[in-house]
Chains A and B, each alone.
Chain A
């Protein structure tokens, strides 16, 4: 077999200048003047210029490149799988928990004011709702603090909230007790309690929720990151494998080197897997963001605003004559809530491009919200005419469903259901992405190993011919 000896025939002399030819990538890069180099380096260089030496160099480069590709691709996929898992199982639920703490506190504020206005006629379910709100916050605060990884700042905020909550509860109970004695001082206490909640607890809870939202965004972005390093390395490796197969073909006239061909196919498969997997995960994550995370965030924001407006509505009736602050507060919040769909924090904005699963609830909630605004306007008109009792009856009355409070609660229930639908949409979109990415990590690792094996086998055959 003439071709088998070709490498030997073309053995280069150390001093020969490089010539254009099929030596290609493994040719010496530079002529080295004789005698200028000596010792191990020179020996290495001359060894590398022998045909088996060139083969060994090629083998080392290709194997190193394949290993690097495999490790990078698997590592990047595994990282993204971990981020996707974190997103679905930890940061999104925690973010929802933080939002729930925030919402519970705002709800407690509104409910306490409603119960206060009804005084001795306060129905047990109003009292229960207030207590449930406090219980929810009290349960979620240590839960959030207990999870490892919460930053020192988040821990501080949660500890602060843990201290503020009992003080708030104490103030509300004092207000209730004094109110039951029939003393107007109770109203002043409730104003103080609400102000304390609005200026201490809610800002703390908001900072915690913002922190969790940022962590969620981080996980989302990490999971959706395009693995450029793996893709670039893969393309480079594929190019090197192809190029060397051309070189070998020219030297040996063999069309195929099965080992290298297998390696190329494996790398191509790994590349395709990574690319397709990235697109698929990206689509899922985009869906999770646009159908779950973002709508939920906007919904939580609107719900808290609405609760604060409801609080202002109730406290305005508690504090008529003592302060106009709550009327101003209602006006400001109602302006935000009733703004156009383009403005953040507006009820209309929730319906601008709602997730399909939540559209019906959001539409219904919008209807109730408008009804609430109408009834409030009617109550405000009565109040302005000095018909306080009628205004109060129009705003809230135990067991009646034609009050502003009833409309608000109906809107709140629809929003809650919309929130659940959006949460489900998130889970459907984000669930399984981590699995896909983990399989992708394992597959790329295996395919890279196959590429290494193919390369070693393909070039090992050639090397063996020199022995």
Chain B
């Protein structure tokens, strides 16, 4: 019963967030790496993702029951999680320690602790953006779940399942501060725009180029930052999570203009693994309630993204 109530609460919170959502644009031009984002994010529209024709905000009810997948993980002795190693502060390899760390990695470890009693009983497997959905559908399966800044879309929901949302993101433009762009239209209009190949930003640019003079699509959004630094692109469109990671690595860049197209981030799981989906949802409830989400946010994201309000999916 507790779980059902939690779920209702979650949905209500999401609804409330949506109702409270308001517009605002002017992005701040802060002096440190984080500040620009703080203001920009705080001013972003707060509407809940009103996804295309499906419900991207709900998942199975949280539950901890031993299904086939949970048993297999326990038998194996470790959890296999598909992660990124180049998304700064989300899932990235620290070149000094050699460890993959970040917000998504904390989540992966929280799941491992819950299922196996040890946050280190996890194998982090770096996977490419383009392979994410396929890896959850392939037989035999080589990963249990994906914690890799993955947004919930209707297309993806047709092929795989997601946990409840654990983060709220939207589309953001990254541009040099020197461009002084005050809106998305200004930041992209007539510009050479970059977006990671087959990302949701790429799809958006295909749907509406926002006046871009040209669009370049390298494999990874970080390649876009390189292209901007070398003067081969003028602006980048990206999920706000990764946009924040870009701004965190180059102080001369900022989030320009308003955010749009809000979406949820969820843990990707195979449709077959209903036991794991429910289990992860329970982990997320606990992670939120025991302050784990907040602690990880404070550690990895607050320095860059500021107040977590706009990003909480509940």
Scan A318-342; emit 1 where CB is below 8 A from any B CB, else 0: 0111111100000000000000000
Report Cα–Cα, A179/B227, bound state, in Å: 17
Scan B128-166; emit 1 where CB is below 8 A from any A CB, else 0: 111100000000001100001000000000000000000
Scan B73-92; emit 1 where CB is below 8 A from any A CB, else 0: 00000001101111110011
Chain A, interface SS category: helix
Tell me, yes or no, whether A183 is within 8 Å of chain B by CB: yes
Report Cα–Cα, A385/B148, bound state, in Å: 17
Q: Are the CB atoms of B223 and A321 closer together than 8 Å? A: no
Q: Are the CB atoms of B220 and A323 closer together than 8 Å? A: yes
Contacts of B192 in A (CB 8 A): none
Q: Are the CB atoms of B100 and A388 closer together than 8 Å? A: yes
Contacts of A319 in B (CB 8 A): 86, 220
Report Cα–Cα, A179/B86, bound state, in Å: 11
Tell me, yes or no, whether A75 is within 8 Å of chain B by CB: no
Scan A178-196; emit 1 where CB is below 8 A from any B CB, else 0: 1110111111110110000
Nearest A residue to B245 via CB reads: A184
Tell me, yes or no, whether B93 is within 8 Å of chain A by CB: yes
Decide yes or no: A183 and B88 within 8 Å by CB, A191-B223, A389-B98 being known contacts.
Answer: yes
Tell me how far the C-beta of B149 lies from the nearest C-beta in chain A, rounded to whole angstroms: 11
Tell me, yes or no, whether B124 is within 8 Å of chain A by CB: yes
Q: Are the CB atoms of B128 and A183 closer together than 8 Å? A: no
Tell me, yes or no, whether B118 is within 8 Å of chain A by CB: no
Q: Are the CB atoms of B123 and A386 closer together than 8 Å? A: yes
Q: Are the CB atoms of B98 and A192 closer together than 8 Å? A: no
- Residue of B80, B91, B95, B148 most packed against chain A (CB within 10 A): B95
Tell me, yes or no, whether B230 is within 8 Å of chain A by CB: yes
Q: Are the CB atoms of A387 and B123 closer together than 8 Å? A: yes
Tell me, yes or no, whether A119 is within 8 Å of chain B by CB: yes
Contacts of A179 in B (CB 8 A): 95
Tell me, yes or no, whether A30 is within 8 Å of chain B by CB: no
Q: Are the CB atoms of A188 and B226 closer together than 8 Å? A: yes
Tell me, yes or no, whether A384 is within 8 Å of chain B by CB: yes
Decide yes or no: A185 and B85 within 8 Å by CB, A387-B123, A388-B124, A388-B126 being known contacts.
Answer: no
Report Cα–Cα, A156/B145, bound state, in Å: 54
Chain B: residues with Cβ within 8 Å of the partner, total of 39
Q: Are the CB atoms of A184 and B223 closer together than 8 Å? A: no
Tell me how far the C-beta of B84 lies from the nearest C-beta in chain A, rounded to whole angstroms: 5
Tell me, yes or no, whether B72 is within 8 Å of chain A by CB: no
Q: Are the CB atoms of B226 and A320 closer together than 8 Å? A: no
Scan B213-243; emit 1 where CB is below 8 A from any A CB, else 0: 0000001101101110010000000000000
Tell me, yes or no, whether A148 is within 8 Å of chain B by CB: no
Contacts of A189 in B (CB 8 A): 226
Tell me, yes or no, whether B60 is within 8 Å of chain A by CB: no
Decide yes or no: A188 and B131 within 8 Å by CB, A182-B96, A321-B86, A386-B80 being known contacts.
Answer: no
Tell me how far the C-beta of B233 lies from the nearest C-beta in chain A, rounded to whole angstroms: 12
Tell me, yes or no, whether B249 is within 8 Å of chain A by CB: yes
Q: Are the CB atoms of B142 and A321 closer together than 8 Å? A: no
Tell me, yes or no, whether A120 is within 8 Å of chain B by CB: yes
Tell me how far the C-beta of B25 lies from the nearest C-beta in chain A, rounded to whole angstroms: 27
Contacts of A312 in B (CB 8 A): none
Nearest B residue to A384 via CB reads: B142
Contact of B219 among A120, A185, A186, A325 (CB under 8 A): A325
Contact of A184 among B81, B128, B148, B222 (CB under 8 A): B222
Q: Are the CB atoms of A321 and B84 closer together than 8 Å? A: yes
Chain A: residues with Cβ within 8 Å of the partner, total of 29
Contact of B95 among A186, A188, A320, A325 (CB under 8 A): A186
Contacts of B127 in A (CB 8 A): 321
Q: Are the CB atoms of B249 and A322 closer together than 8 Å? A: no
Report Cα–Cα, A192/B222, bound state, in Å: 11
Tell me, yes or no, whether A445 is within 8 Å of chain B by CB: no
Q: Are the CB atoms of A180 and B220 closer together than 8 Å? A: no
Contacts of B86 in A (CB 8 A): 184, 187-188, 319, 321-322
Tell me how far the C-beta of B98 lies from the nearest C-beta in chain A, rounded to whole angstroms: 6
Tell me how far the C-beta of B100 lies from the nearest C-beta in chain A, rounded to whole angstroms: 7
Q: Are the CB atoms of A322 and B220 closer together than 8 Å? A: yes
Contact of A323 among B91, B94, B219 (CB under 8 A): B219
Report Cα–Cα, A329/B87, bound state, in Å: 23
Nearest B residue to A388 via CB reads: B126
Q: Are the CB atoms of B88 and A188 closer together than 8 Å? A: no
Q: Are the CB atoms of A320 and B85 closer together than 8 Å? A: yes
Q: Are the CB atoms of A385 and B225 closer together than 8 Å? A: no
Report Cα–Cα, A187/B222, bound state, in Å: 9
Report Cα–Cα, A324/B135, bound state, in Å: 14
Nearest A residue to B125 via CB reads: A386
Tell me, yes or no, whether A392 is within 8 Å of chain B by CB: yes
Nearest A residue to B99 via CB reads: A389
Q: Are the CB atoms of A324 and B95 closer together than 8 Å? A: no
Tell me how far the C-beta of A163 lies from the nearest C-beta in chain B, rounded to whole angstroms: 16
Tell me, yes or no, whether B250 is within 8 Å of chain A by CB: yes
Report Cα–Cα, A319/B227, bound state, in Å: 17
Nearest B residue to A120 via CB reads: B96
Q: Are the CB atoms of B85 and A392 closer together than 8 Å? A: no
Contacts of A324 in B (CB 8 A): 128, 130-131, 219
- A:129-185 near B, CB below 8 Å: 178-180, 182-185
Report Cα–Cα, A323/B131, bound state, in Å: 10
Contacts of B126 in A (CB 8 A): 320-321, 388
Report Cα–Cα, A312/B2, bound state, in Å: 52
Tell me how far the C-beta of A46 lies from the nearest C-beta in chain B, rounded to whole angstroms: 90
Report Cα–Cα, A408/B98, bound state, in Å: 23
Contacts of A389 in B (CB 8 A): 98
Footprint of A on B, CB under 8 Å? 80-81, 83-88, 91-96, 98, 100, 123-131, 142-143, 148, 219-220, 222-223, 225-227, 230, 245, 249-250
20 contacts between A and B (CB under 8 A): A120-B96, A178-B249, A179-B95, A182-B96, A184-B245, A184-B249, A185-B88, A185-B222, A185-B225, A185-B226, A185-B249, A187-B222, A189-B226, A322-B128, A322-B219, A324-B130, A384-B125, A386-B80, A386-B124, A386-B143
Closest 4 CB pairs of A and B: A386-B125, A386-B123, A320-B126, A323-B219
For the complex with contacts A179-B95, A185-B249, A325-B219, 4 further pairs of A-B residues with Cβ separation under 8 Å are: A182-B94, A185-B225, A319-B220, A388-B93
